[in-house]
């Protein structure tokens, strides 16, 4: 694929960059730039801005609000959003559920849920992993028993990102315990306000609530919320995971993080010289950038494949494998570059009424650079990237068995 941008591409890039500079609220840009998580409020505000411009769901078909962009335009848009410190769009809702409903949903399901996503009224979380069924989804135990016009769901889901503010969950459930593991699973859409649903927060090593465990106790789900066919939810799940693997390459995030690392390296000094002037650090930057460019080119090839109508094959697992490791390495290099400023604290979680400075003295706050405050918390958060969405070990097994035929 020709990677060179045309004059039209460059004009489009300028249009996107100008839009971001003009429309992205300054307070949101600052928080994202400094490494803090984009919460529901910031994400909602940015979604509303994108929706007003018609750019919230560019990869969807035009009839459902898609922008009609080609592969390069989508690539440029994602890159400029990352470099402009925009909050990431809610990928679970837009990049995963949306395409699945468009492909497998009934007309009633599409009419009910897709406009609500476009109007930023509803948010989704993913009910896949369970305490005893993480990367091995086929061993899930959450059960859905048919009772007239409804399913009665009992079980538990874990590592549920944004479950605390999701309005709905798409959920894998077992509807036939006598069938082979992958043949007795169905895909349900569940309203999180339904009686019998409770959520327990899971706090990560950085103190943030990154995940949740969701409990389902006799939850009544209408049969009309079944996507595709009963006991054939595995087909839907695989399709969704293809989109997830593509999104979890984290190319945009890595570009943003590497750009920030270069900015820090132009300021932080060692031995009287800035890091960017020192050969050993320039070599580290060059190695990271080489890996990023190779990953970026590979992602473009997969996107082009999907645009041509071809299905993504198991080799897409390489994107998640390589991308998750790369962003970890960039964030670790950032903490290393900060030296003392990279010590593991984060003011947004440290502050409390009983200890308003989180153990810090007043003078400590005066000398802390803005770019250091979120560095360590971001590094800690990234440790989950090689586990969530299918661990690196699972990705290697998938490629070894299904791609290399070992």
If pLDDT is split at 50, 70 and 90, which confidence band does 70 have? Answer: confident
Q: Are strands 168-174 and 124-127 parallel, antiparallel or unpaired?
A: parallel
> Residues 322-342: pLDDT tens digits?
999 999 999 999 999 998 888
Quote the pLDDT of residue 352.
Answer: 42
Quote the pLDDT of residue 308.
Answer: 75
Question: How many residues are there in the chain?
Answer: 406
Contact status, residue 139 vs residue 133, Cβ threshold 8 Å: yes
Architecture in CATH of 124-233: Beta Barrel (2.40)
Name the pTM for this structure: 0.82
Which residues are catalytically annotated? 244
Phi, psi of 221 (to 5 degrees): -120, 120
Q: Where are the domains of the chain?
A: 7-89, 124-233, 248-403
Quote the pLDDT of residue 310.
Answer: 76
Q: What SS3 class is residue 386? A: coil
CA–CA dist 310, 304 (Å, integer): 9
List the helix and strand counts (H, then E) for the chain: 15, 10
Residue 273 reports pLDDT greater than 90: yes
What mean pLDDT is reported for the chain? 87
| Domain at 248-403: CATH code | 1.20.140.10
If pLDDT is split at 50, 70 and 90, which confidence band does 79 have? Answer: confident
Q: Which residue has the higher pLDDT, 314 or 268?
A: 268
If pLDDT is split at 50, 70 and 90, which confidence band does 221 have? Answer: very high
Q: Which of 306, 291, 294 is nearest to 246 (CA)?
A: 306
Least confident segment among 213-217, 223-227, 309-313, 333-337? 309-313
SS (H, E, C) 229-296: CCCEHHHHHHHHHHHHHHHCCCHHHHHHHHHHHHHHHCCCEECCEEHHHCHHHHHHHHHHHHHHHHHH
Of all residues in the chain, what percent carry a pLDDT higher than 70?
Answer: 90
Quote the pLDDT of residue 358.
Answer: 44
Quote the pLDDT of residue 304.
Answer: 76
Q: Which residues pair with 187 in a beta bridge?
A: 172, 227
């Amino acid at each position: 694929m020709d990677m060179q941008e045309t004059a039209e591409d460059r004009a489009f890039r300028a249009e996107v960059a100008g839009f971001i500079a003009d429309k992205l609220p300054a307070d949101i840009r600052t928080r994202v730039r400094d490494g803090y998580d984009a919460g529901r409020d910031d994400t909602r505000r940015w979604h509303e801005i994108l929706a007003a411009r018609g750019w919230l769901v560019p990869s969807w078909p035009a009839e459902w609000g898609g922008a009609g962009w080609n592969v390069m335009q989508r690539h440029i848009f994602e890159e400029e959003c990352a470099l402009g410190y925009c909050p990431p769009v809610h990928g679970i809702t837009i990049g995963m559920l949306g395409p699945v409903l468009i492909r497998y949903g009934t007309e009633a399901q599409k009419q009910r849920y897709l406009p609500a996503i476009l109007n930023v009224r509803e948010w989704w979380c993913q009910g896949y992993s369970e305490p005893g069924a993480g990367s091995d989804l086929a061993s899930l135990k959450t059960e859905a028993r048919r009772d007239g016009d409804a399913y009665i769901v009992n079980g538990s889901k874990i590592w549920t990102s944004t479950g605390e503010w999701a309005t709905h969950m798409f959920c894998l459930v077992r509807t036939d315990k006598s069938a082979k593991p992958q043949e007795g699973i169905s895909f349900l859409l569940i309203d999180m306000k339904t009686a019998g649903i409770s959520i327990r927060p899971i706090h990560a090593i950085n103190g943030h609530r990154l995940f949740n465990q969701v409990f389902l106790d006799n939850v009544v789900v209408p049969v009309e919320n079944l996507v595709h066919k009963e006991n054939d939810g595995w087909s839907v799940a695989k399709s969704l995971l293809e989109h997830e693997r593509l999104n979890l390459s984290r190319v945009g995030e890595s570009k943003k993080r590497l750009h920030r690392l270069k900015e820090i390296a132009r300021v932080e000094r060692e031995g009287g010289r800035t890091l960017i002037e020192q050969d050993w650090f320039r070599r580290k930057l060059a190695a990271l950038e080489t890996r990023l460019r190779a990953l970026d080119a590979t992602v473009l090839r997969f996107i082009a494949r999907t645009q041509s109508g071809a299905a993504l094959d198991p080799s897409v697992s390489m994107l998640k494998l390589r991308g998750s490791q790369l962003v970890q390495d960039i964030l670790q290099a950032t903490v290393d570059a900060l030296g003392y400023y990279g010590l593991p604290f984060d003011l947004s979680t440290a502050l409390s009424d009983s200890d308003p400075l989180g153990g810090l003295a007043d003078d400590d706050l005066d000398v802390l650079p803005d770019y250091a405050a979120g560095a360590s918390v971001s590094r800690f958060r990234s440790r989950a990237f090689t586990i969530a969405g299918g661990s690196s070990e699972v990705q290697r097994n998938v490629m070894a068995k299904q791609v290399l035929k070992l």
